[in-house]
Chains A and B, each alone.
Chain A
Amino acid sequence: MPQNPFAHVDLSRSISRPPTKDVYLADRSYRAFAVAGIYVLLALVVYILWQIGGAAMPAVHDYHLGFLTSSAWNVQTGQFGILPQIWGTLYSSLFALMIGGFFGVTVAIFLTQNFLPPRLAVVFRTIIEMLAAIPSVVFGLWGIFVVIPAIRPVANWLHDVLGWIPFFSTSLSGPGMLPAALVLAIMILPTIAAISQDALHLVPYRTKEAAYGMGATRWEAILKVLVPAASGGIFSALVLGFGRALGETMALAMLIGNSNQITLSLFSPANTLASLLASNFPEAGAIEVQALMYAALVLLAITLIVNVLGIGILTMTTKRSAVK
């Protein structure tokens, strides 16, 4: 046992004390608890993968990779393929990420860089975070009753005038890619805005002061110093938002039109993996359940790849900027 270095300190007079046994124990057990939590989470992910993988195995054997490249979903003839769903999932999520990401980061800058009196900023922040608490079904209904009627005239005008551009090649009748992606963008906005705000808050105030000291204008300080400094956190926020968009189910099932086709047009109905699962699972027979499990496995894989890619890009860019 090493000698207690604090033995000579008069504890009764000093405010700095070594941790007591209780504090030490509490600290250790909390740490053990947290580590155990991480392992439980990991085990849970593996267990879910194993369960879904097991249920999907017969379908994986039957359809192989053709499942990923075919576009039929016909229970009668036993043909299953999810190419349109993969396409729709990625297309709608990317499109939602573009809109939601832009507005989310803008909102984060607006709320953290003293554009508003602090109290008002707190109010706005709370309102935006409250968006995350709205149930998906409500977003779906709101999309049907508010968003679609609102964008229909604009969409059909775009189709009439700019119909030769592939993105506008069909008219919007109701449910479709654009309303789904717009609602999706609003659904992922609170996630992106909240985490980006945290990231911007974490940039030391001195950094900003230094930028001003160098003669930067407000916007130069924000765009050239603060945002790059917080870019790691902002990027994580975008990856998280993208993951959320990939897995969103009910609102999309109500808004995207559930049509198995691949088209660039924003006004056409499409389908996503999550919406396919939500629509077909309740009444699926044994064979269809296997195919649906295969689709679920693909969705899991896509989410995993996106997250791994995100983390990869993040570590690469932070290393590079650290070297600079």
Chain B
Amino acid sequence: MKRISLLATGLLCAGLIGAGAIAPAHAETRLIGSGASFPFPIYSTWFKSFSKAHEDIRVDYQAKGSGAGIQDFINHTVDFAASDAAMTDEQISKVDAGVVLLPMTAGTIVLAYNLPDSPKDLKLPRDVYPAIFAGKITTWRDPKIVAANPDIKLPDLPITVVRRSDSSGTTFVFTKHLSAIDPEFAKEVGSGTTVQWPGSDKFVAAPKNDGVTATIKQTPGAIGYIEYGYAKLTKADTALLQNKDGNYIEGDAKGGEAALASATLGADLRGWVEDPAGADAYPISTFTWMLFYKKQDADKAKSLRLLVDYCLAEGQPIADSMGYIPLPPSVIEKVRAAAEQIQ
């Protein structure tokens, strides 16, 4: 177990470094992007194969984080950016060239846990998991957890909550969901890319998705939120969460797809599924966006449209294998239409 997670962390690091170093020699149009780290693994794969298919276009993407990506985008230091939180109206108003927001892929956020004898399929009811992250439920033998899991012998351990220490789109989506289903959580912790978590010696924080994953794997009694891809890669145990309809759903691509099917995106293609309805919908799923300018030089615009086309057509099928959710067909159509605004 220890070796697997070490290996996985190493692989992740190697992947990040390797993907950052792609640079074909003869390039005519160079597209520079920066932003979210959540979709970085899939974006880097897409951009790499896109650059292979179009030898005259080179795409460089830097995973700085959603906030930094938006900042770069507003400052015009990039050709495109990526963000898990799309952009706020205020941020959009700062971009004179106009903004096109395109959801490119989607993912789920899972609760990974570490319990002795690693029991599978731990079920967490709707009133339990927000309470855990609000610091109200503090032991695994809590009657509510025991009642939901009659088949699992729960240990007499305190719950150690692992959260992100850095500002993160993952935290943004996760706390938005918890705030939506639990008014008390909304009042006491709130939502955002960084929030004021309860002060307790059983709340620890680690940097980045892989830091949180490693800490959970090393800490008996730990639970934490990570992107599904990271859980899949490290074979972490993840909890089944109770959705709006009362069913316990796994946070894989199937549950995510069901959740996003019910998503209604606005005209600007922004929209969140804070608490999706549907019998098979996994509660915490989100789109992640790429941000483009409406106006730029024709050459770049053409290359960017090609890039979007490629990601929609060739990119979506590999999403599932990388721990992401392919966009529903209806959304793909909308994105394709909206991409025409990039001129």
Taking a contact as CB atoms under 8 Å apart, the answer to whether B167 and A284 are in contact is yes
Taking a contact as CB atoms under 8 Å apart, the answer to whether B67 and A279 are in contact is no
Taking a contact as CB atoms under 8 Å apart, the answer to whether A279 and B166 are in contact is yes
Contacts of B219 in A (CB 8 A): 148, 173-174
Taking a contact as CB atoms under 8 Å apart, the answer to whether A254 and B218 are in contact is no
Taking a contact as CB atoms under 8 Å apart, the answer to whether A283 and B201 are in contact is no
**Cβ of A257 under 8 Å from chain B:** yes
Stretch at the interface among A122-130, A262-270, A297-305: A262-270
Given contacts A75-B193, A76-B195, A76-B196, contact A278 B67 (CB under 8 A): no
Taking a contact as CB atoms under 8 Å apart, the answer to whether B204 and A173 are in contact is yes
**Cβ of B238 under 8 Å from chain A:** no
Complex Cα–Cα for A267 and B158 (A): 14
Pick the contact of B65 from A73, A175, A259, A282 — CB < 8 Å? A282
Given contacts A145-B6, A174-B160, contact A259 B166 (CB under 8 A): no
Interface string of B168-205 (1 = CB under 8 A from A): 10000000000000000000001011111001111111
**Cβ of A170 under 8 Å from chain B:** yes
B201 to chain A: closest residue by CB? A268
Stretch at the interface among B18-26, B120-128, B207-215, B276-284: B207-215
**Cβ of A74 under 8 Å from chain B:** yes
Complex Cα–Cα for A75 and B192 (A): 9
Contacts of A261 in B (CB 8 A): 199-201
**Cβ of A197 under 8 Å from chain B:** no
Identify whether the interface residues of A are mostly helix, strand, loop, or mixed.
Answer: loop
Contacts of B215 in A (CB 8 A): 144, 174-175
Contacts of B195 in A (CB 8 A): 74, 76
A84 to chain B: closest residue by CB? B199
**Cβ of A72 under 8 Å from chain B:** yes
Taking a contact as CB atoms under 8 Å apart, the answer to whether A260 and B199 are in contact is yes
Taking a contact as CB atoms under 8 Å apart, the answer to whether B194 and A269 are in contact is no
Contacts of A279 in B (CB 8 A): 165-167, 205, 207
**Cβ of A258 under 8 Å from chain B:** yes
Contacts of B203 in A (CB 8 A): 259, 269
**Cβ of A166 under 8 Å from chain B:** no
Pick the contact of B201 from A141, A148, A170, A258 — CB < 8 Å? A170
Chain A residues with a Cβ closer than 8 Å to the other chain, count = 37
A143 to chain B: closest residue by CB? B218
Chain A nearest Cβ from B231, distance in angstroms: 17
Interface string of A156-176 (1 = CB under 8 A from B): 000000000000001101111
Contacts of B158 in A (CB 8 A): 171, 173
Chain A nearest Cβ from B204, distance in angstroms: 4
Contacts of B5 in A (CB 8 A): 145
**Cβ of A199 under 8 Å from chain B:** no
Q: How many A-B residue pairs have CB under 8 A?
A: 110
Taking a contact as CB atoms under 8 Å apart, the answer to whether A175 and B204 are in contact is yes
Chain B nearest Cβ from A167, distance in angstroms: 13
| Residue among A258, A260, A285 with the highest chain B CB neighbour number at 10 A | A258
Taking a contact as CB atoms under 8 Å apart, the answer to whether B192 and A254 are in contact is no
Interface string of A59-93 (1 = CB under 8 A from B): 00000000000001111110000000000000000
Chain B residues with a Cβ closer than 8 Å to the other chain, count = 39
Given contacts A173-B222, A269-B203, A283-B65, contact A144 B196 (CB under 8 A): no
Contacts of A315 in B (CB 8 A): none
**Cβ of B66 under 8 Å from chain A:** yes
Complex Cα–Cα for A268 and B158 (A): 13
Taking a contact as CB atoms under 8 Å apart, the answer to whether A259 and B204 are in contact is yes
Complex Cα–Cα for A149 and B2 (A): 10
| Residue among A72, A260, A279 with the highest chain B CB neighbour number at 10 A | A279
**Cβ of A253 under 8 Å from chain B:** yes
**Cβ of A280 under 8 Å from chain B:** yes
Taking a contact as CB atoms under 8 Å apart, the answer to whether B204 and A257 are in contact is yes
Pick the contact of B68 from A170, A175, A269, A283 — CB < 8 Å? A283
Pick the contact of B204 from A75, A76, A174 — CB < 8 Å? A174
Contacts of A170 in B (CB 8 A): 201
B9 to chain A: closest residue by CB? A141
A75 to chain B: closest residue by CB? B194
Given contacts A171-B158, A175-B206, contact A263 B201 (CB under 8 A): yes
Complex Cα–Cα for A83 and B88 (A): 32
Complex Cα–Cα for A278 and B211 (A): 13
Given contacts A173-B219, A279-B207, contact A258 B65 (CB under 8 A): no
**Cβ of B254 under 8 Å from chain A:** no
Taking a contact as CB atoms under 8 Å apart, the answer to whether A258 and B190 are in contact is no
Complex Cα–Cα for A125 and B211 (A): 33
Chain A nearest Cβ from B329, distance in angstroms: 33
Taking a contact as CB atoms under 8 Å apart, the answer to whether A283 and B205 are in contact is no
**Cβ of B141 under 8 Å from chain A:** no
Contacts of B206 in A (CB 8 A): 175, 254, 258
**Cβ of B48 under 8 Å from chain A:** no
**Cβ of B221 under 8 Å from chain A:** yes
A to B CB contacts below 8 Å, 21 in the list: A73-B196, A74-B196, A75-B167, A75-B193, A76-B190, A76-B195, A77-B196, A144-B215, A144-B218, A173-B222, A174-B218, A175-B205, A175-B206, A258-B204, A259-B201, A268-B201, A269-B205, A278-B207, A282-B68, A283-B64, A283-B193
Binding site for B on A (CB under 8 A): 72-77, 141, 144-145, 148-149, 170-171, 173-176, 253-254, 257-261, 263, 265, 267-269, 275, 278-280, 282-285
**Nearest 4 pairs between A and B by C-beta?**
A258-B205, A283-B167, A174-B219, A283-B67
A76-B195, A148-B219, A173-B219 are known; give 4 further A-B pairs, CB within 8 A: A145-B5, A149-B218, A174-B162, A259-B200
